[in-house]
Amino acid sequence: MKSLKEIFTNKFIVVPILVWFFIQTFKFISDLWINKKINVKRIIGAGGMPSSHSAIVTSISVLIGKEYGFNSGIFALAVIFSLVVMYDAAGVRRAAGKQAAILNKILETPGLTTVEVQEKLVEFLGHTPIQVFVGALIGIIVGAIF
């Protein structure tokens, strides 16, 4: 039981999870406000403003920097990991979402293809650079506060 308590009181776990929860809740409420309908996928889905992925990794990086020093190897590892995640969010996953949108249009065009699809490809995957930046800024601020 001591190990379980240590996990639930570990700020390196709790703070990023809370950041993720609040950002995803914000996205859900924002989507509900704009579209006037409940979209449960916004709670756990990727994409949108701000990037919860960016907020999570930057909050961990700042927490590690404060705890172990901003010149430590573990902080450097956290920063590099954060940059890879943010690049992926704004680059690779965003491109995959754009490709999914184009493929969905092709599949919906009568006579263009004979391929039958059971469900549409997910288009809402990545982030714009500003969504990544805002998420990272939130993560830095939250990490600095705790």
C-beta contacts of 21-26 below 8 A and 24+ residues apart: 23/50, 23/52, 23/55, 23/135, 23/138, 24/52
Distance between CA atoms of residues 30 and 45, nearest Å: 14
Q: Burial of 121 by CB count in 10 Å (0-12 exposed, 13-18 middle, 19+ buried)?
A: middle
State the pTM of this model: 0.78
In this prediction, residue 80 carries a pLDDT of 98
**35's tokens:** 């579209």
User: Coil, helix or strand for 65?
Assistant: helix
Taking only the tens place, the pLDDT of each residue in 83-116 is: 999 988 877 766 677 777 777 777 777 765 666 6
50-88 per-position pLDDT tens digit: 999 999 999 999 999 999 999 999 999 999 999 999 988
Residue 121, pLDDT score: 65
42 or 20, higher pLDDT: 20
* pLDDT over threshold 80, residue 47: no
pLDDT of res. 99: 74
Q: Where are the domains of the chain?
A: 2-87+132-145, 92-125
Q: What is the pLDDT of residues 13-26, one digit of tens each?
A: 999 999 999 999 99
**Residue 94 CB neighbour total at 10 angstroms:** 19
Inter-residue contact 115 to 108 (CB < 8 Å): no
